[in-house]
Chain A
Amino acid sequence: MSLLQIDQLSLAIHGTPILRDISFDLDAGQIVGVIGESGSGKSMTAYSVMQLLPEGSRTEGAISLNGDNLLSLSEEQMCSLRGDELGMVFQEPMTALNPVKSIGDQVAETVRIHRQASRAESLRIARETLDRVELPADRFPLSRYPHELSGGQRQRVVIAMAIALRPKVLIADEPTTALDVTTQAQILKLLRRLVREDNMALMMITHDLAVVSDLADDIVIMKSGEVVETGAAKTLFQSMTHPYTKALFEASSHVPDRALDSDAEAAPLLQISHVSRDYVLPRTSLLASPPKFRAVNDVSFTIQRGESLGLVGESGCGKSTLTRAILGLEEVQEGEILIEGEPVFSGHEVQRSVRRKMQVVFQDPYGSFNPRHRVARLVSEPFHLLDTQPGSAERAEAVADALESVGLEGSDGRKYIHEFSGGQRQRIAIARALIIKPKLIVLDEAVSALDVSIRAQILDLLADLSDRFGLTYLFISHDLSVVRSITDRVLVMKAGQIVEEGQTDAVFDNPQHVYTKSLIEAAPRLPDLPTELTAKLATQNEVSI
């Protein structure tokens, strides 16, 4: 009998069905990858196992751990299992720890709750556990607070809290989604090691096929609250019987069709020369001048008209600062940013005539719109950059055109933003960028928050728009596979500097800089498919999800 058996689990919250007939097993020492897009019910499956469901939830079926049905246990009995036999790690390491308690206390608490251990004894176990998750005592004493740690380090503390008592089952809900690729690779390695050492069962929940493809033993694919396919990781990708699995796989490795611009004349659109940006840090002493942090350090590059340039780097490398400088949102201390030969700033003022040649699409489709305005008003906002404002008829027509060009209805302008899904919102953000017909569009992690199938659609849209309107893209992302699929040339940024630059394929196939190599090395990869399946997927020109 398996260690954890989920048998025909159904869940409804306030009468709305969320999960239907979920069944899969988990054995000791086994890693099961649960994959699905947002709303597929993968997290709710995890919360059902932990019995940490929102109010108004009703579950049916059975979840048995060592033969006990968790669904029939009392809350008190569940409390004694959570943290002891069942551990859980969450997606967002930045908020998963209590900011006002030291990491030692937080790990020790797991021990103190379940064992009659003294404070000293539980702190000793906490120390051991932090050592096990590779946070050594000399650099990470128990007295450290979460805000003194990076995202990856915090995730290690969260893992330490979950495994302090060596639980039989560990559930990890998107544990690396918020992390950089190199950190992600380290955390995955750590999880694998812990599973091996403790003979623990790991339920690994993710939206990213590539993350689990070389980690998991078994894979469970979920869609709309149901399991659509299960199988051993080694063979699942080879067979892929369910159309959704195929579609998911295709979307994950989707490369949009882009017309190669052979007549791309070497006309520079954006020229950046020797740009540096300093931030003033708080004073350390009253007398000395405050220290500075150089976020962007002597960066130079050029984007040609019609080109799609990628900028990759990990969080904190300076790519967002650079973006803000290009958009004229911040002044730079040194260097020059020119659009078609004209500087963005004249004196301390942003030149509108230059500024209107570029627009931006941000990452978060939920936070980047004012919820009180109608879509038409949101989309027509960039008009304020023009010298003469269009009349209302002209304005309405422009809004309708922009919405139609991104695949929405012209009449959608009358709606409010909450009426749209994440993917549709990102289309609206693109429509907003298009409306004054800019030359350059800066895409700042524009597809990072989207599910793979939606991401594939947006990438297709971007490729299509670039062909139709001759747009130039600066594509900023931490996701190497996306950058590879949509850019001609790529820049790799680290600690404020460009460390490598070249044709996208050349850089990915043959990276020169050690940092680029480590990035590409760390990025999870989808397994190679047998050739007949690849051919079959290639002929499916429509992604049907």
Chain B
Amino acid sequence: MLRYTLKRLLSLSVSLLVASIVIFVTIEVVPGDPAFYMLGFNAQPDTIAALREELGLNVSAFQRYVNWVSGMLTGDFGTSYTYRTPVADMIGDRMWISLPLALYALLLSTLIAFPAGILAASKRGSVADTLVMGTTQLGVAIPNFWFAMLMVLVFAINLRWFSAGGFPGWDGGFWLAVKALTLPAISLALPQASILARVMRSALLDTLGEDFVRSARAKGLTRRQALWRHALRNAMIPVLTIIGLQFSFLLAGAIIIENVFFLPGLGRLVFQSISQRDLIVVESVVMLLVFAVVIVNFSVDLAYALVDPRLRRRS
């Protein structure tokens, strides 16, 4: 198990290194001079040159890469070209919205998907199964921003249970903040839960057809016991894979939902930064997202090994 973990950690570091190079190079080749954008069309050439100097754009690309990476390692993400504030602070504030939102959505998605998937698989062909399959089909098909607007209409404007958008901050009280994130989290979770429930169902049906489930039944286990004790854990491998992919998506893919609900999260930050050519912010946020995704994959890998003893040894 230790070997396996070390091996995963090594591959994690390599992924991060490769990702940092790719991000840096990509942003380097994007046309557009940030100094030019910041100063506007009427700027004098020598003012632009001075600003370039100030932003550290005059040194070689390699030197800039080294400065960027070493800065990140010490928590210094540079200064935003547009707002002239430290990028680390900007990301820090928004992180506390995007990360809880992603976790909240993931929690909801799992809480909906697991029971629904298990129910559908254990009663295959029944009304419950048909209902789950139909609902999830709809859940996958409905665009989440449309669903978000529908929820705003129903729960914020008509019923007035929730506010239509905005975020009061965590200082205003934990439950208040959670309440503000609830509608966005549901909108994000709906398609994810639909996909996850379908994966859970089909993975479980596959394992229920395995020989070892029949062996368990021959030992005297009821259908239900065989499902919970033998099939479920074996069905977790594909489910964990999907959960890992979904978390990455929830973290990085919330741009539209954050816009619908006026949440000052990472998604909106990236969106704004790209339109303002605030490349240093874009670079940093993207790198951070990559970091999050890699960490999630690492956790999923560890979870695989906990579920499946064959992986523990194969290291």
Contacts and interface: CB of A to CB of B under 8 A. Distances in A.
Interface of A: 50, 52, 75-76, 79-84, 87-88, 90, 92, 95-102, 109-110, 113-114, 145, 147-148, 158, 161-162, 282
B310 interface: yes
A192 B107 CA distance: 54
Contacts of B314: 282
B40 interface: no
Contacts of B307: 100
B309 A100 contact: yes
Contacts of B158: none
A50 B221 CA distance: 12
Please list the 10 inter-chain residue pairs (A to B) with the smallest Cβ-Cβ separation, ordered nearest first.
Answer: A83-B220, A83-B219, A95-B211, A88-B218, A82-B220, A98-B212, A145-B309, A110-B219, A96-B215, A96-B211
B217 interface: yes
Interface in B66-81: none
Contacts of B211: 90, 92, 95-96
Nearest to A161: B219
Interface in B256-315: 307-310, 313-314
B234 to A, nearest CB: 6
Query: Interface of chain B, helix or strand or loop or mixed?
Result: helix
B64 interface: no
Given A98-B212, A100-B307, A162 B218 contact: yes
Contacts of B210: 95
Contacts of A82: 217-220
Given A79-B220, A80-B220, A81-B220, A99 B310 contact: yes
Contacts of A80: 220
A97 B215 contact: yes
Given A90-B218, A113-B225, 5 more contacts: A79-B220, A92-B211, A95-B212, A158-B215, A162-B218
Contact of A79 (B222, B233, B234): B222
B160 interface: no
Range for the number of chain B residues in contact with chain A: 20 to 34
A110 B220 CA distance: 7
B220 A52 contact: no
Given A99-B309, A145-B310, A147-B309, A109 B229 contact: yes
Nearest to A107: B219
Interface in B218-243: 218-222, 225, 229-230, 233-234
B222 A147 contact: no
20 contacts: A52-B217, A76-B222, A79-B221, A81-B220, A82-B218, A83-B218, A83-B220, A87-B218, A90-B214, A92-B211, A96-B212, A99-B212, A99-B234, A99-B308, A101-B230, A109-B216, A110-B219, A113-B225, A147-B310, A282-B314
Contacts of B221: 79, 83, 109, 113
A164 to B, nearest CB: 8
Given A98-B230, A99-B309, A145-B310, A161 B215 contact: yes
A100 B313 CA distance: 12
Interface string B54-95: 000000000000000000000000000000000000000000
Contact of A100 (B219, B222, B233): B233
A148 B314 CA distance: 11
Nearest to B213: A98
Nearest to B212: A98
B310 A52 contact: no
A114 B219 CA distance: 9
B308 A100 contact: yes
Contacts, number: 76
Contacts of B214: 52, 90, 96
Contacts of A92: 211
A83 B214 CA distance: 12
Nearest to B219: A83
A97 B221 CA distance: 14
Contacts of A50: 218
A258 to B, nearest CB: 40
A90 B215 contact: yes
A158 B220 CA distance: 14
A223 to B, nearest CB: 25
Q: Which among B212, B214, B220 has the greatest number of chain A C-beta atoms within 10 A?
A: B220
Q: Which among A76, A114, A147 has the greatest number of chain B C-beta atoms within 10 A?
A: A147
B126 to A, nearest CB: 12
Nearest to B223: A75
Contacts of A147: 309-310, 313
Given A99-B310, A145-B309, A52 B218 contact: yes
A75 B220 CA distance: 10
Contacts of B230: 98, 101
Contacts of B229: 109
Interface string B147-159: 0000000000000
Contacts of B217: 52, 82
Contacts of A84: 220
Contact of A109 (B219, B308, B310, B313): B219
A99 B219 CA distance: 16
A97 B212 contact: yes
Nearest to B215: A96
A485 B138 CA distance: 62
Contacts of B212: 95-99
Nearest to A144: B309
Nearest to B310: A147
A282 B313 CA distance: 12
A82 B234 CA distance: 23
Contacts of A101: 230
B220 A114 contact: yes
Q: Which among A52, A88, A100, A282 has the greatest number of chain B C-beta atoms within 10 A?
A: A100
A145 B314 CA distance: 13
Nearest to B221: A113
A54 to B, nearest CB: 11
B234 A98 contact: yes
Interface in B141-180: none
A386 B82 CA distance: 68
Nearest to B237: A100
A92 B307 CA distance: 23
A80 B310 CA distance: 32
Contacts of A109: 216, 219, 221, 229
Contacts of B313: 147-148
A159 to B, nearest CB: 11
Nearest to A46: B218
A211 to B, nearest CB: 21
Q: Which among A52, A79, A81 has the greatest number of chain B C-beta atoms within 10 A?
A: A79
Nearest to A51: B217
A545 B214 CA distance: 33
A80 B307 CA distance: 29
B13 to A, nearest CB: 15
Nearest to A80: B220
A80 B221 CA distance: 8
A114 B217 CA distance: 13
A183 to B, nearest CB: 19
A312 B54 CA distance: 79
Contacts of B216: 98, 109
B171 to A, nearest CB: 45
A101 B233 CA distance: 10
Q: Which among B211, B217, B218, B222 has the greatest number of chain A C-beta atoms within 10 A?
A: B218
A100 B234 CA distance: 7
Nearest to A109: B219
A76 B222 CA distance: 8
Q: Which among B225, B229, B233, B309 has the greatest number of chain A C-beta atoms within 10 A?
A: B309
B309 to A, nearest CB: 5
